[in-house]
Amino acid sequence: NAGVTQTPKFQVLKTGQSMTLQCAQDMNHNSMYWYRQDPGMGLRLIYYSASEGTTDKGEVPNGYNVSRLNKREFSLRLESAAPSQTSVYFCASHLAGVYNEQFFGPGTRLTVL
């Protein structure tokens, strides 16, 4: 099993450009998440999808959109990138269970100039 995979690993954008971050999991998990990680701020939830066909806003959704394409894939789109969106983005998934472990992808390092 590959676990949670993310593409690309690195990306540099100019202000105003758009892009989509891809995430896929092969663990048959129901729920998937997008976080951003900024120094001194921990991980903040952008959007999540509790199950296929549903998405909900997290703590910092402004400037982002998501698509839960199927059970495996959950993408994050920046329609018009801003320097404030420079961050490391992590996708995670979990199967609802007893202790609720979330499995994380390796991250996408995004710089917006």
Partner 1 sequence: GEDVEQSLFLSVREGDSSVINCTYTDSSSTYLYWYKQEPGAGLQLLTYIFSNMDMKQDQRLTVLLNKKDKHLSLRIADTQTGDSAIYFCAERGNQGGKLIFGQGTELSVKP
CA atoms within 13 A on the CB side of 58: 19
The interface mask with partner 1, positions 24-63, x = CB under 8 A, is -------x-x-x----xxxxxx--x-x-------x-----
Pick the closer one to partner 1 by CB: 79 or 101: 101
Least distance between partner 1 and beta carbon 40 (Å): 6
Per the CB < 8 A criterion, the answer to whether 91 and 102 are in contact is no
Pick the closer one to partner 1 by CB: 64 or 105: 105
Angle ∠(3,71,37) on CA atoms, nearest 5: 55
Pick the closer one to partner 1 by CB: 37 or 75: 37
Least distance between partner 1 and beta carbon 32 (Å): 10
Tell me the backbone φ, ψ of residue 12, rounded to 5 degrees: -120, 130
Q: Which of 68, 62, 83 is nearest to 24 (CA)?
A: 68
Residue 23 as a binder of partner 1 (CB under 8 A): the answer is: no
Least distance between partner 1 and beta carbon 19 (Å): 20
> Tokens in use for 81?
């990138």
